[in-house]
Amino acid sequence: MKPIQVGLLGIGTVGSGTFKVLRRNQEEIRRRAGREIRISMVADLDTARARSIVGTQAEVVSDARAVIANPDIDIVIELIGGYGIARALVLEAIAAGKHVVTANKALLAVHGSEIFAAASAKGVIVAFEAAVAGGIPIIKALREGLTANRIEWVAGIINGTTNFILSEMRAKGLDFGVVLKQAQALGYAEADPTFDIEGVDAAHKATIMSAIAFGIPVQFDKAHVEGITALQAADIRYAEQLGYRIKLLGITKRRDDLKGAAGGIELRVHPTLVPTQRLIANVEGAMNAVVVHGDAVGTTLYYGKGAGSEPTASAVVADLVDITRLHTADPDHRVPHLAFQPGSMADTPILPIAQVVTAFYLRLVVADKAGVLARITGILAENDISIDAVLQRESAEGEKQTDLIILTHDTVEGRMNTALAQMQALPTVLAPIVRIRKEELS
């Protein structure tokens, strides 16, 4: 049988890994796909570097559009990244009748609805397993393995850079800035780590998972995004004392009407207290993990390397195999891109953060005097916020202030915002209140 011909756009870290994995495991992949998969054309601006990787096994060009225009190319792999030229090239490949494989989570989170609609109209496949959690097959799990389930929620450590930083802060008691420099020196963080440490990268991935899990359009612009730059070592330490660890989580939940809040979909990324006995709380270093709760299967965990050349290449090649198997199938009977057809999307709204329901960790620096705790707990009670636990640091001799730690039960975020404003206005509250959300994930 004639090999499937693949054109590769961009042969950087993931692209070179994809080429090497395909070549190394060629026979195994051929058996699983039913025919040979061959990267026969590579486009990269650095043609000399590209030729040093592929040798004589593929044609190397500097113009990505030459790959798309080649009538012999069946599948185009887009590994350029970003929102700009990548979007244009993907849409051009679709228009030319090419299937597309991409690892570009930013592109899909922002322009996914447009891209998937174009692919559906043209009868081609856009596969993107590598766009979320690297080598962990979470897209396939959500789209196929858990298809019998009504997904209730998904929560994941989906950015290795931030997880490495938080792991080091907890293990060594260091502040964020110190550990960030270490992460950059070790290659875990980019010279400009903004997308990672501010939660944007995780929000791109959470947006994609939310669309698959709940059958809604990708809506990155409606995600609530917070990073880890404001986290302090003191809060990581207090969380540990209370039986929790702090992780940057991407969370998306189906929410029915409750506690005075409207129903809809929660889509948020932020630092989160997680009980230490949960498996995801013990995911350390640069590893990724995603927890999915379905009504039939219960809670499932997916763990592995979320980035890197060959882990991500593993997902790219898996997509190539899937497309190869489906290449001759009637377009109407292929696995849909998001587990549903573009015309069958749900119109369930993404909830604004003020309508999210969650529990909270609060740290207040307060004057060490009588009546302070009673006034603060009174404000919480007035706003119908129930307290789960209280921890007060014992003041040193002569010290006139102390740290007061409060864990709450679930409440509507808008209600908590009102209470925080009232507490912050008290003359006995001496510093900005630290607020971190808490999830039991059970």
SS3 361: strand
Q: How many Å is the maximal CA-CA distance in the chain?
A: 84
Rg (CA), the chain: 24
Q: Smallest Cα–Cα separation from 22: which of 10, 6, 1, 34?
A: 6
SS3 344: helix
Q: How far apart are CA 150 and CA 137, in angstroms?
A: 19
Q: Where are the alpha helices (DSSP H) in 278-353?
A: 309-326
The set of residues, in sequence order, having a beta carbon less than 8 Å from that of 119 and lying 6+ positions away, is: 94, 100, 125, 126, 337
HSE (side-chain half, CA atoms, 13 Å) at 384: 7
Neighbours of 258 (CB within 10 A): 11
Q: How far apart are CA 242 and CA 363, in angstroms?
A: 13
Which tokens go with 229? 């730059």
DSSP-derived pairing of the beta strands 411-412 and 357-367: antiparallel
Which helix (H) or strand (E) segment is 30 a member of? helix 26-33
Q: How far apart are CA 11 and CA 42, in angstroms?
A: 7
Q: How far apart are CA 340 and CA 328, in angstroms?
A: 20
Is 205 a catalytic site residue?
A: yes
Q: What's CA 55's distance to the chain center, in Å? A: 35
DSSP 151-193: EEEEEEE--HHHHHHHHHHHHH---HHHHHHHHHHTTSS-SS-
Contact (Cβ atoms closer than 8 angstroms) between residue 42 and residue 11: yes
Q: What's CA 415's distance to the chain center, in Å? A: 27
Which tokens go with 4? 């499937």
Which residue, chain included where needed, has tokens 């939940």? 253
Annotated active-site residue in 205, 247, 253, 438: 205
Neighbours of 60 (CB within 10 A): 21
Active-site positions read: 205
